[in-house]
Amino acid sequence: MKVFVKYDYHVVCKRVLKAQLDMLNIPYKLNGIGEIELASDLKKEKREALIENLAFYGIEIIQDEKDVLVQRIKDIISDMVQSSEESKSSNTSTLLSEKLNYSYSYLSGIFSEITYSSIENFVILKKIDYAKELMSSNDRLTLTEIAHRLQYSSVAHLSGQFKKITGLTPSGFQKIMSKRRERK
């Protein structure tokens, strides 16, 4: 028997972080996606224990400032793609500049330097990943509803990007997912 689960990455990650920090008796404040404010510096033993405990869950502490900034960009974009309409009302460059207090050209340069890809490509990948998630869910949204939710100007625009990234049309992807569901 197979069981399929749906989860919110941010909720799961936040709960894992809380559990590990509480277990090690480390006073902290979660400031948002991917940012923890510790009440004081950690002694070497506690820091190593925290690093080891988080590594078990695939979570790593980022130490390089550029890597931190890139991770924050990725987190903001992921949140933007999957969030309500209000945060999607501004464009990506404005949203990132406002949230991170840097010019978009600076953020774009750092992102490209670290990831060897552009912010725009990352946004497209996140949108297509979320589109696949929406098409795979039991909500049975139409392509028009998915395109609207992801702020595409048309279904054709979504379909073009989807095919370019996955090699499949959205309807082809939906047929594959439908056949997989029938087998269960």
Domain ranges of the chain: 1-61, 122-183
Q: Are 155 and 144 in contact (CB under 8 A)?
A: yes
Number of other residues whose CB lies within 10 A of the CB of residue 73: 23
What mean pLDDT comes out for the span 112-126?
Answer: 95
What pLDDT is recorded for position 86? 46
CA distances (Å), origin 163, targets 41, 90, 135, 141:
48, 26, 14, 18
Which band of pLDDT confidence, cut at 50, 70 and 90, is reported for residue 160?
very high
Proportion of the chain above pLDDT 70, given as a percent: 95
Q: Is residue 103 over pLDDT 90?
A: yes
Question: Tokens at residue 35, please?
Answer: 């940012």
Q: Which of 86, 85, 103 is nearest to 94 (CA)?
A: 103
Q: Is residue 116 over pLDDT 90?
A: yes
Q: What is the pLDDT of residues 23-74, one digit of tens each?
A: 999 998 887 767 888 888 888 898 899 999 999 988 888 878 899 899 999 9
Q: Is residue 104 over pLDDT 80?
A: yes
Question: Tokens at residue 180, please?
Answer: 């997989």
SS3 labels along the chain: CCCCCCCCHHHHHHHHHHHHHHHCCCCEEEEECCEEEECCCCCHHHHHHHHHHHHHCCCCCCCCHHHHHHHHHHHHHHHHHHCCHHHHCCCHHHHHHHHHCCCHHHHHHHHHHHHCCCHHHHHHHHHHHHHHHHHHCCCCCCHHHHHHHCCCCCHHHHHHHHHHHHCCCHHHHHHHHHHHHHHC
CATH number for 122-183 (one of 1.10.10.60, 2.60.40.1260, 1.20.120.1200, 3.30.413.10): it is 1.10.10.60
pTM (global) more than 0.75: no
Q: Is residue 87 over pLDDT 60?
A: no
Quick one: how far is CA 49 from the chain centroid? 26
